[in-house]
């Protein structure tokens, strides 16, 4: 099957040479081709170039993209889209003055979602989660990481990871699974955090490894949740089973989690709303990708990750949604890109790089997605008639997408 797009107003994020990720000053460069063609063959990008050089190609379908742009699909490297029920009552509690912390302390928050998840069947969780997956595909996401972490019991965590596996089997979007057993201390282990961690290590990890249910391991390294020592313990245990760390750190307090992530070669350290100079220093020259989650800052009214300081210091940065029922009930990468520009002072070039190529790196998918490169999956966004790519964040909240393609197939 061959599809040829012709007269593309601008083909965005064109990378002829393979790029793993972009950092610092490089993030300001977003290579594009104006008046371009793009050829897709058997689900992959087969060729592209400027229209003047467009060869005569026998294609099964020719699409005239006059006035429209094509971008690689968004790469959302941090989500929790598998969950049961919602928490809009907590949202109203926050409006009425309770803090996210106070809600968690009275048994709400992550423990509220854990209760709902453990009371819901695997089939029902799948049905609820697939709606969210379909929603983000429609919004232009072509690769997504999904975490466990609302089970907090052996059965609950395995149930979540099996739902992620089922989504992976049934949808053409690229999915990577993360084991986040250490998301919160479950009610049954109140006062016995070490006992819970030991169960994760001795009982859950071997099962997850045997069933190959996860690629990554995560922990919420935060005051009141898990310490730096707990983080070391979990990451070391995960490494024994080949699980690569991607961790929640520096959301509310900076306690040294970034340094542990770097020590254990984490693929990413995520949140980073609170960054000390030594945290920025620790990330320099490492393979660890910092990930900002601006929708979470927006929804919780907490500080935004200091993207400007980090990029100006030479660091790379990826953007993701954090789609989850408590701190970010939204999976819209278009909104994330816009918010990064509007609230974090990132340029459209930086934000698009962060949401595509750098997001792909943060899922270990640099060779598969994240740019318009020959051999990569044809996971694409075809825009409406828009004047420029900067119009996407500029017209925040307004839909700029006309069609999305996954592995070369239009998703209806
Ligand atoms: O990434 N910070 C930790 N975990 C999630 C939110 C969890 C929840 O409130 O359900 C996050 O924001
Ligand atoms: Fe998260």
Condensed to tens digits (0 to 9), the pLDDT of residues 147-202 reads: 999 999 999 999 999 999 999 999 999 999 999 999 999 999 999 999 999 999 99
Ligand 1 atom 9, closest CA:
326
pLDDT of residue 147: 98
* Domain ranges within the chain, ordered by starting residue: 2-72+371-410, 75-361
Pocket test for ligand 1, best of 220, 257, 268, 271 (most atoms within 8 A of CB): 220
Its CATH class, for the domain covering 75-361, is alpha beta
Q: How confident is the model at residue 25 (pLDDT cuts 50, 70, 90)?
A: very high
Pocket test for ligand 1, best of 327, 328, 331, 336 (most atoms within 8 A of CB): 327
Pocket test for ligand 1, best of 77, 132, 145, 248 (most atoms within 8 A of CB): 248
Nearest atom (ligand 1) to Cα of 251 = 2
pLDDT of residue 151: 98
**What confidence tens digit (pLDDT) does each residue in 210-223 have?**
999 999 999 999 99
CB 249, CB 271: distance < 8 Å: yes
Q: Judge whether residue 107 has pLDDT over 90.
A: no
pLDDT of residue 169: 98
pLDDT of residue 9: 98
The Å distance, Cα 327 to ligand 1 centre, comes to 5
Nearest one of 409, 411, 402 to 71, comparing CA atoms: 402
pLDDT of residue 186: 97
Structure-token pair, residue 224: 């009141």
pLDDT of residue 106: 85
Answering whether pTM is above 0.85, one says yes
User: Does residue 109 line the site of ligand 1, with CB under 6 A?
Assistant: yes
Q: Judge whether residue 18 has pLDDT over 90.
A: no
The Å distance, Cα 26 to ligand 2 centre, comes to 27
CB 280, CB 311: distance < 8 Å: no
- Tokens 């929640």 locate to 248
Q: What angle do CA 398, 380, 43 make, to 5 degrees?
A: 155
In DSSP terms, 38 is beta-bridged to 5, 48
**Mean pLDDT, the chain, whole residue set:** 97
- Tokens 């809009």 locate to 88
User: Does residue 251 line the site of ligand 1, with CB under 6 A?
Assistant: yes
Q: How confident is the model at residue 17 (pLDDT cuts 50, 70, 90)?
A: confident
The Å distance, Cα 183 to ligand 1 centre, comes to 8
Which contacts of 192-196 are long-range, i.e. CB under 8 A and separated by 24 or more positions? 193/226, 193/230, 196/152
User: Does residue 103 line the site of ligand 1, with CB under 6 A?
Assistant: no
Q: Which-ligand-closest: CA of 113? A: 1
User: Does residue 132 line the site of ligand 1, with CB under 6 A?
Assistant: no
Q: How confident is the model at residue 57 (pLDDT cuts 50, 70, 90)?
A: confident
The Å distance, Cα 360 to ligand 2 centre, comes to 17
pLDDT of residue 381: 98
pLDDT of residue 410: 98
Mean of pLDDT values over 369-393: 98
- Identical fold for domains 2-72+371-410 and 75-361, yes or no, is no
pLDDT of residue 373: 98
CB 92, CB 389: distance < 8 Å: no
The Å distance, Cα 90 to ligand 1 centre, comes to 13
The Å distance, Cα 234 to ligand 2 centre, comes to 17
According to the 3-state scheme, what is the secondary structure of the chain?
Answer: CEEEEEEEEEEECECCCCCCCCEHHHHHCCCEEEEEEEEEECCEEEEEEEHHHCCCCCCCEEEECCCEEEEECEEECCCCCCCCCCCHHHHHHHHCCCCHHHHHHCCCCHHHHHHHHHCCCHHHHHHHHHHHHHHHHHCCEEEEEEECCCCCCHHHHHHHHHHHHHHHHHCCCEEEEEEEEECCCCHHHCCCHHHHHHHHHHHHHHHHHHCCCCCEEEEEECCCCECHHHHHHHHHHHHHCCCEEEEEECCCCCCCHHHHHHHCCCCEEEECCCCCHHHHHHHCCCCCEEEECHHHHHHHCCCCCCHHHHHHCCCECEECCCCECCCECCCCHHHHHHHHHHHHCCCHHHHHHHHCHHHHHCCCCCCCCCCECCCCECCEEEEEECCCCCHHHHCCCCCCEEEEEECCEECC
| Dist. CA 392–CA 309, nearest whole Å | 24
User: Does residue 322 line the site of ligand 1, with CB under 6 A?
Assistant: yes
Mention every residue, 6+ apart, whose C-beta is less than 8 A from residue 195: 189
Structure-token pair, residue 208: 């997850």
The Å distance, Cα 222 to ligand 1 centre, comes to 11
Taking domain 2-72+371-410, whether its CATH number is 3.40.50.261 is answered by no
Ligand 1 atom 1, closest CA:
322
Mean of pLDDT values over 129-148: 98
Q: How confident is the model at residue 63 (pLDDT cuts 50, 70, 90)?
A: very high
**What confidence tens digit (pLDDT) does each residue in 307-328 have?**
999 999 999 999 999 999 999 9
Mean of pLDDT values over 69-75: 98
Mean of pLDDT values over 70-89: 98
Percent of the chain with pLDDT over 90: 97
The Å distance, Cα 331 to ligand 2 centre, comes to 12
pLDDT of residue 326: 97
Nearest atom (ligand 1) to Cα of 104 = 9
């Amino acid at each position: 099957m061959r599809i040829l797009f012709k007269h593309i107003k601008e083909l965005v994020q064109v990378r002829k040479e393979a790029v793993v990720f972009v950092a610092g000053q490089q993030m300001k460069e977003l290579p594009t081709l104006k008046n371009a063609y793009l050829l897709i063959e058997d689900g992959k990008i087969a060729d592209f170039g400027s229209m003047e050089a467009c060869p005569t190609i026998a294609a099964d379908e020719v699409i005239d993209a006059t006035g429209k742009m094509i971008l690689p699909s968004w790469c959302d490297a941090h989500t929790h889209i598998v969950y049961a029920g919602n928490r809009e009552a907590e949202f109203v509690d926050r409006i009425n003055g309770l803090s996210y912390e106070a809600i968690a302390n009275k048994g709400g928050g992550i423990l509220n979602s854990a209760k709902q998840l453990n009371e819901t069947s695997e089939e029902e969780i799948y049905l609820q989660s697939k709606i969210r997956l379909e929603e983000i595909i429609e919004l232009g996401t072509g690769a997504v990481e999904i975490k466990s972490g609302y089970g907090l019991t052996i059965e609950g965590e395995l149930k979540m990871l099996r739902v992620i596996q089922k989504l992976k089997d049934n949808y053409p979007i690229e999915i990577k699974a993360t084991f986040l057993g250490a998301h919160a201390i479950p009610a049954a282990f109140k006062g016995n955090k070490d006992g819970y961690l030991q169960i994760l290590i001795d009982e859950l990890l071997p099962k997850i490894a045997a069933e190959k249910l996860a690629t990554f391991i995560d922990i919420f390294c935060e005051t009141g949740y898990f310490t730096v020592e707990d983080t070391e313990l979990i990451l070391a245990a995960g490494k024994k089973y080949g699980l690569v760390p991607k961790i929640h750190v520096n959301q509310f307090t900076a306690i040294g989690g970034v340094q542990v992530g770097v020590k254990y070669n984490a693929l990413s350290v995520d949140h980073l709303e609170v960054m000390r100079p030594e945290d920025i220093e620790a990330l320099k020259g490492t393979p660890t990708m910092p990930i900002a989650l601006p929708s979470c800052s927006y929804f919780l009214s907490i500080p935004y990750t200091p993207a400007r300081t980090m990029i100006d210091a030479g660091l790379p940065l990826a953007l993701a949604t954090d789609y989850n029922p408590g701190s970010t009930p939204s999976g819209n990468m278009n909104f994330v890109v816009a918010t990064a520009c509007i609230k974090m002072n990132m340029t459209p070039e930086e934000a698009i790089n962060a949401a595509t190529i750098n997001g792909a790196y943060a899922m270990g998918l640099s060779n598969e997605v994240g740019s318009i490169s020959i051999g990569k999956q044809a996971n694409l966004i075809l825009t409406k008639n828009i004047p420029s790519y900067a119009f996407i964040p500029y017209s925040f909240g307004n839909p700029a997408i006309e069609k999305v393609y996954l592995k070369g197939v239009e998703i209806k």
